[in-house]
A and B are shown apart, each in its own frame.
Chain A
Amino acid sequence: DVKVTQSSRYLVKRTGEKVFLECVQDMDHENMFWYRQDPGLGLRLIYFSYDVKMKEKGDIPEGYSVSREKKERFSLILESASTNQTSMYLCASSSTTGGWEQSNQPQHFGDGTRLSIL
């Protein structure tokens, strides 16, 4: 089974801190994603990456950056944490192989990091 591991389940940080959220997948997937999930707003895509060192903005990239130096690892960075970034953060990965169109590859999610910014 595909395993997507997020480094922390719970994290508490202070306003203005630089925060790193780490995600590792073990299935050699090309694509990796960062979402945030908020009550009433559902999941929203922050950034995604389709290859090492490649990144694309999602719907809400402001205040975030990402890093993908190795294929299996995708990091989300909050440059200067603010209280409105308190949320559940979900990492996902997907493959572009397997005979399916890229858009139909299932995304495999980690269990999330609940981040609180005080």
Chain B
Amino acid sequence: DAKTTQPNSMESNEEEPVHLPCNHSTISGTDYIHWYRQLPSQGPEYVIHGLTSNVNNRMASLAIAEDRKSSTLILHRATLRDAAVYYCILRDQRVTDSSYKLIFGSGTRLLVRP
């Protein structure tokens, strides 16, 4: 399975934008890039996903490099509630024996300062 690399932790000030990077240099052409986050004492929560083009939703934006070897999750205005562990996950769009499961790495712990 293609792997992702994320910084262990990042810090941000409240109400400022946050850019969370993810490297996936061995990504295949059929891999989607998914982001989940896990707030303290909660289960993981889906944030966003994309293939090649940048994506926006009510929670965040996803910027994907042209060569797809890296991506960035953008929180436009961080709030205290955004303090969480953010996971970047690759998922093969083909239906394979392993496409049903999420493979979580260690993620990035985001600290938001008031």
Show the binding face of A for B, using Cβ within 8 Å: 4, 31, 33, 40, 42-43, 45, 48, 50, 56, 58-59, 90-92, 101-104, 106-112
Q: What is the predominant secondary structure among interface residues of chain B facing chain A?
A: loop
Say yes or no: A43 contacts B104, CB within 8 Å: yes
Give the docked Cα–Cα distance between A101 and B91 (Å).
11
Q: Is the CB of B43 within 8 A of A103?
A: no
Inter-chain contact A109/B43, CB cutoff 8 Å: yes
Chosen A-B contacts, 19 in total, with CB atoms closer than 8 Å, are: A33-B100, A43-B104, A45-B101, A48-B100, A50-B100, A90-B43, A92-B44, A101-B99, A102-B95, A103-B93, A103-B94, A104-B49, A106-B34, A106-B49, A107-B44, A109-B44, A111-B41, A112-B41, A112-B43
Given A31-B100, A43-B102, A58-B101, the answer on whether A104 and B93 have CB atoms closer than 8 Å is yes
**How many whole Å from B99's CB to the nearest CB in chain A?**
3
Instruction: State whether the Cβ of B45 lies closer than 8 Å to any Cβ in chain A.
Output: yes
CA distance A45 to B91 in the complex (A): 15
Task: Report chain B residues within 8 Å CB of A31.
Answer: 100
Assess whether A111 is in contact with B46, with CB atoms less than 8 Å apart: no
Binding site for A on B (CB under 8 A): 32, 34, 41-46, 49, 91-96, 99-102, 104-106
Which of B42, B43, B100 meets A102, CB within 8 Å?
A: B100
Contact across chains for A104 and B101 when beta carbons are under 8 A apart: no
Contact across chains for B43 and A111 when beta carbons are under 8 A apart: yes
Q: Judging by beta carbons under 8 Å apart, are A112 and B105 in contact?
A: no
List 18 other contacts, CB 8 Å, given A106-B46, A107-B102, A112-B42: A31-B100, A33-B101, A42-B104, A43-B44, A48-B100, A56-B100, A90-B44, A92-B43, A102-B99, A103-B95, A103-B99, A104-B93, A106-B34, A106-B49, A109-B42, A111-B41, A112-B41, A112-B43
Residues of B within 8 A of A90 (CB): 43-44
Contact B104 A101 (CB under 8 A): no
Q: Establish whether residues A108 and B46, one from each chain, have CB atoms under 8 Å apart when the complex forms.
A: yes
In the docked arrangement, what's the CA distance between A43 and B94, Å?
22
CB of A26, distance to nearest CB on chain B (Å): 15
